[in-house]
Amino acid sequence: MSSVFETAPSAAAIPITFVTKATWDAIKKELPAPARRYAEDNGFAAKPGKCLALPAADGRIAQVLFGLEDDGHKSRDPFHPGALPGLLPAGVYRFANAAHDTRLATLAFALGCYRFGRYRKNEAPDIRLVPPDGIDAADIGRMAGAAALARDLINTPSNDMGPTELADAARELATRFGASFNCITGDELARDFPLIHAVGVASTRAPRLIDLCWGDPAHPKVTLVGKGVCFDTGGLDLKPSSAMLIMKKDMGGAANVLALAQMVMDAKLKLRLRVLIPAVENAVGGNAFRPLDVFKSRKGLTVEIGNTDAEGRLVLADALALADEEKPDLLIDLGTLTGAARVALGPDLPPFYTNDETLADRVAAHAKEENDPLWRMPLWPAYDAWLDSKTADITNAPSGTFAGSITCALFLQRFVEHAKSWLHVDIYGWTPSARPGRPEGGECQAARAIYKLLSQRYA
């Protein structure tokens, strides 16, 4: 994604004036009489999301009016300015006054320029924004570029985004930032990462564990683990077709981990970064893993398969076990894991889990500051017994329908022992219907909030 920012301030930039119902009368009085009449004749009433270009005497655009919610409105959306790239004609623009949050308005503008154009012409709008004073345009561009990476990876259909292609994307990122890259496949994967191998073995596209390392080994270790299920049929516990429809997004955890890694490396944060992505396709075949099969995980725990459609936690478990062996300062995993999380919190509000109270407070604060919503849910100890199996040490899918996101988090917690702090996020990775700054399709969730957390912690 090319930068949407004008590198040098332009006196010719078209001003965008943000108005609310409360401020409209005062702003209208300051307009030249012809512009005021034009706005009135066009029925502009400062409704949120409404946009009106006011003409100059020579027919050019003199100014743009854009409606926002009043201060204190219960459903105020700081990303409303993200609608502007889809409304404005080509040109260079600037904000003439402050939005509710000018930094988030700038970010929303950049996010709103995204278009997915791999398979048909869908060019980004030819517009530029002069960054407002005091705004770190480089950091905004870094976040927008990372969001575009995550969106592109998720939006790419599975025939072009299998385990190999996901590994290629990670390798390209590693090459760009001088990181080391390794990919574990075949017999080595079957021997050392049996859960990852079991989930992916039925596909004609071989499973693999992607391993990227960057930064000074003397710096604090931060490891990111992303679920890379490039397509999920549900395995032998086959999904219905309606549930399979957008399963190309089931590698959304991997996509967002790569987006987060890109921000960390581009910002040159003082940490030792490791990225682990178990990349698989959960397919149906004669050699597919079966309900009630038992596998010995990398950690040594035996796992009974209660449901082959609970595969994400299996591949994450082996990767988390590897990450945990290094005793990182911070271990973070992201995955599109449970429908239960969507039932509880919907598509826009991923739950996160941690037993580190300070970390939880900072994650919640950065999520709010970045308009990257997250909501803490508990690692409820009483439910841990639900993971008990009569045959193995643990089951991947307890019977019953209660607390599915919590029991998934508790399952993963069994594979984290030595990390100083652990954070688990159950993302959706998809925007079901377009909103300002968030087009329909693959979405970057949790990555910006965690990037800001890491920036503060390891600047």
The catalytic site residues sit at 239, 313
DSSP 126: -
Q: Where are the beta strands (DSSP E) in 98-178?
A: 127-130
DSSP strand pairing (14-19 vs 61-67): parallel
In contact, 448 and 370? CB cutoff 8 Å: yes
DSSP line for 296-353: E-TTS-EEE-S-TT--HHHHHHHHHHHHHHT--SEEEEEE---HHHHHHH-SS--EEE
In contact, 434 and 343? CB cutoff 8 Å: no
Which tokens is 344 given? 């509880």
- Report the DSSP beta bridge partners of residue 212: 181, 275
Q: At 250, phi and psi to the nearest 5?
A: -75, 0
Angle 201-205-210 (CA atoms, 0-180°, nearest 5)? 85
Chain centroid to CA 60? 39
Place of tokens 């890109």: 262
User: What would you measure as the largest C-alpha separation in the chain, in angstroms?
Assistant: 81
Q: Which is nearest to 299 in space by CA: 207, 201, 393?
A: 393
